[in-house]
Structure 1
Amino acid sequence: MMMYPTPLYSHAGQGLFSEVYEPAEDSFLLIDSLEKDADLLRRSNCTDLNPAAAECTVETSRRNNLNLQPVLTDLTECLLPRLKGMVDVLLFNPPYVVTPSEEVGGHGIEASWAGGKRGREVMDRFFPIVSQLLSQQGLFYLVTVSDNNPEEILSLLAESGLRGDVCLSRQAGREKLFILRFSKRRHETVNKV
């Protein structure tokens, strides 16, 4: 397996980007999953609800000699139906922390963690769209924690015709993090929840 350097990201959470969630254990587990599956992956575009996060993504890509063009949107609102069945790689590090429902829906840094009931309110809005977006060879990576009930998420998306498994998992303090990987095609099952 080829090792990739950790992206330069020291600007996240600082100055102009103080309203941006700094990479932490969940971000690094997602990066590890992508590195693990590097042979399966191509290129992707980024979407975000937080304008500062989109600008931070541009800066991160610039510092790492990449060219990304983030799209400001609520989930994938502006991408359907134009990208229906055309997305090869879909990454979602959603707000997954269990919070009161009133905290969900902000546009600042709180949008990065406030997941509402079971930490799933934003995820549950997104799940019906995933199968529509993915190409036949597409892969969808989702960051979850135990509180989100990963087993139930695997079953729920299976009802939409997506095969899923746990790509990687890791204990991070009190949280058990999971990267769930889904596709419309068969892939090797790595782990169970």
Structure 2
Amino acid sequence: MIPTPDLSHLSTSDYRNIYEPSEDTFLLLDALEADEKQLKELNPSVCLEIGSGSGCVTTFLGCLLKPNQPYMITTDINPLAAVATVMTGKKNGVSIDTVQTSLVTNLLPRLHNSVDVLCFNPPYAVTPSEEIGGQGIEASWAGGVDGREVIDTMLPFVKELLSEKGIFYLLLISENKPAEVIELLQGDGFNAHICLQRLAGREKQFIVKVQR
């Protein structure tokens, strides 16, 4: 069993500005751990997390893949999250490069079809569209109509990023209409299915696993 990364360097005041790991984070960690054998056999060279927040997911993935250490890169529009991600990696012995940017802006064509493991716990909450676009804590949850506006902006980039052997893990909730998202990904030629799901209070969460 891979332990949850040590986040003791982050305080309550930090979590006023960056997303604190919660049930959705832990569901994504569980999906990665369930695929530990497959991920190690994949022997990834590049792992990318979009919207890294505290850095918990990428750090966990880096620990899971040890002793091999792929190139771990993350993005987050929130500058405080970018700093926290690097700190979390260092605290747990995982080297992480982070880019403060929106989604994957400036990563293409550099990472074209080069990402072997892609993770995205998106801002999925149903909100007014006007709440999207900030660079603070609201960027971690404001998803617009059906909680899908940021997700739908990201989906076309998956085929540009994912390597031939790559795996994409995407977290969704019921309001995001997972069946529609899976259909969109299948329309791009991917094999996509729900690999894990859990009820967190009233919120039903899903991990969609995507491969070519």
The answer to whether the superposition gives a TM-score over 0.5 is yes
Following superposition of structure 1 onto structure 2, how do residues 47-66 of structure 1 map, counting pairs within 5 Å?
A: 47-66=75-94
The residue number in structure 1 matching 2:21 is 23
Distance 2:87 2:195 in 1: 28
The residue number in structure 1 matching 2:2 is 4
Secondary structure of the 1:70 match is strand
The residue number in structure 1 matching 2:150 is 122
Relative to its length, the structure with more helix (as a share) is 2
Distance 1:154 1:160 in 2: 10
Deviation, structure 1 residue 40: 2.8
Match of 2:99 among 62, 71, 75: 71
Deviation, structure 1 residue 10: 3.6
Secondary structure of the 2:143 match is coil
Secondary structure of the 1:45 match is strand
Q: How many residues align?
A: 182
Deviation, structure 1 residue 48: 1.0
In structure 1, list runs of 5 or more residues that go unmatched: 185-193
Contact 1:92–1:143 (CA under 8 A) maintained in structure 2: yes
Deviation, structure 1 residue 13: 5.6
In structure 2, list runs of 5 or more residues that go unmatched: 45-69
Normalised to the residue count of structure 1, the TM-score between the two structures is 0.90
User: How has the CA–CA distance of structure 1 residues 54 and 17 changed in structure 2, closer, same or farther, with 3 Å as cutoff?
Assistant: farther
C-alpha RMSD of the superposition: 1.3
User: How has the CA–CA distance of structure 1 residues 24 and 13 changed in structure 2, closer, same or farther, with 3 Å as cutoff?
Assistant: farther
Secondary structure of the 1:90 match is strand
User: How has the CA–CA distance of structure 1 residues 12 and 146 changed in structure 2, closer, same or farther, with 3 Å as cutoff?
Assistant: farther
Normalised to the residue count of structure 2, the TM-score between the two structures is 0.82
Match of 1:149 among 128, 153, 177: 177
